[in-house]
Amino acid sequence: MKTKCVLMNCKAPAAAIVGVCKYCTGKFCLLHRLPESHDCTGMEICKNEHLQRLTSQLNKDAIKPTKL
């Protein structure tokens, strides 16, 4: 028996591997797999994680002034 998407009123099968949310551990179909699509309870953690990743990428790519 296939697992169904845990979102209310969704009857689609949960997607293997990519359907498991790492923030709330719910099993979702391809349409609802993104945290924004299923009102994830771990949304703040998700946002902070992405903000840290983007900030570190910006810092790494920043032009460093050279001494004259």
The predicted-structure confidence for 18-54, as pLDDT tens digits, reads as follows 999 999 999 999 999 999 999 999 999 999 999 999 9
Specify the pLDDT at position 60: 86
User: Which structure tokens are listed for 1?
Assistant: 């028996």
Give the pLDDT band (50/70/90) at residue 1. Answer: low
19 alpha-carbon distance from chain centroid:
11
More confident of the two residues 23 and 68: 23
Specify the pLDDT at position 63: 77
- Bridge partners for 4 per DSSP: 13
Specify the pLDDT at position 49: 93
